Amino acid sequence: MSSNRGVVYIEPGKVEVQEIADPTMAAPDGRKLEHGVILKVVSTNICGSDQHMVRGRTTAPAGLVLGHEITGEVIEVGSDVEMLNVGDIVSVPFNVACGRCRCCKEQDTGVCLTVNPDRAGGAYGYVDMGGWVGGQARYVMVPYADFNLLKFPDRDQALDKITDLTMLSDILPTGFHGAVKAGVGVGSTVYVAGAGPVGLAAAASAQILGAAVVMIGDFNKERLQHAANMGFVPIDLSKSDRLGEMIAEITGSPEVDAAIDAVGFEARGHSGGEQPAIVLNQMMDITRVAGNIGIPGLYVTEDPGAVDEAAKVGSLSLRFGQGWAKAQSFHTGQTPVLKYNRQLMQAILHDRLPIAKIVNAQVISLEDAVRGYEEFDHGAAKKFVLDPHGMLKAS
């Protein structure tokens, strides 16, 4: 009998917590690995990226074990692992990266060339990302462990701050990457589209990078209220489709220095229906000439539930001429978490970045994951953190 349980994707709208296989030191194609470790999962978060799969908006297969936001305790070490020991508490970047290819050598670990036979980039528990088993589970295997894992300096301190540190596996580096790539610096005016956890992490990142004002747009009133409580300026998009005018009411100018798309391809328009290109088009409108646009929001190459035929293969109706005329820069893709997680860990450990509070982290048990998925899908102003071994409440 297996000692492992995990969150499994069943069909659109449905996940279940089931018994799953215990992890082994093997790649998805069955090759034996000596550079991996097995982790007892200390915390693992539900992400908006999981929701795209669970809503049936990707080609994720039934039976996929979900979960790419993992923090764990090392319980078994492969014979090629040199820098980690049993008992270490580690953050797992959601990217699976080999540390050996050209992209990894250049810190572009979001598009590692060797861990996914179908395309660049690997991740745990994600469609089209190499088949690495997900970590919304009790146990999980992490390959290339010396390269991938970030070890926390002190076990007790780590467990003390675990609801903050758990955000290092994805959303905090992702929000930070969005802000860095949007060119946020001291005195910047910033617009973040989307008040979900990634939008809030981008807003918090813009703030520590020195932004003068950070505005967040969404339709979800509960999330906007939470963003306002955290010190960001909410923009209720249900009130008007003239985003530039709403920004001008706050800053005096219809254009911002830096814009971050924390929504992605399931973006909604003012009329309520889905308009996958709306955020990208708005970004070009409201970002200054020669400004940068950070796009952590996810865009796909296959979307079975898309509003039109073009969008089913990821073709969107962009007013690209606008961005070209304004000489803007666009930055897309999976976040290379390794580039940022150590610095952001220090910011957390030294009390500079209360990210758990900012994203409203809610700890629930692994067995409660189905409820977490449902509430998050309905737009709760919360970031759900699963606690598979009851270690968080204890800490």
Q: At what angle do helices 171-181 and 341-349 cross, to 10 degrees?
A: 110
Asked whether position 89 contacts ligand NAD by CB under 6 A, the answer is: no
Name the residue among 381, 338, 360, 369 with its Cα closest to residue 90.
338
**Token reading at 54:** 């669970």
**Gap between the Cα atoms of 169 and 94, Å rounded:** 6
Task: Select from 213-221, 246-254, 309-317, 349-357 the region that touches ligand NAD (CB under 6 A).
Answer: 213-221
Q: Using CB under 6 A, which of 196, 276, 291, 294 touches ligand NAD?
A: 196
Nearest residue (CB) to ligand NAD, 145 versus 237: 237
Task: Select from 56-64, 93-101, 141-149, 276-284 the region that touches Zn ion (CB under 5 A).
Answer: 93-101
**Cα separation of the two ends of the chain:** 29
Task: Select from 4-12, 45-53, 79-87, 284-292 the region that touches ligand NAD (CB under 6 A).
Answer: 45-53
Asked whether position 93 contacts ligand NAD by CB under 6 A, the answer is: no
* Cβ atoms of residues 38 and 363 within 8 Å: no
Q: Are strands 37-45 and 383-387 parallel, antiparallel or unpaired?
A: antiparallel
Name the residue among 13, 133, 17, 89 with its Cα closest to residue 366.
17
**Gap between the Cα atoms of 238 and 193, Å rounded:** 13
Q: Using CB under 6 A, which of 169, 292, 328, 334 touches ligand NAD?
A: 334
x-or-dash pattern for ligand NAD, window 108-147, by CB under 6 A? ----------------------------------------
**Gap between the Cα atoms of 49 and 293, Å rounded:** 20
Asked whether position 49 contacts Zn ion by CB under 5 A, the answer is: yes
Nearest residue (CB) to ligand NAD, 75 versus 305: 305
Q: Which residues bind ligand NAD (CB under 6 A)?
A: 47-49, 51-52, 170-171, 174, 193-199, 217-220, 223, 237, 262-264, 267-268, 278-279, 296-298, 334-335, 379
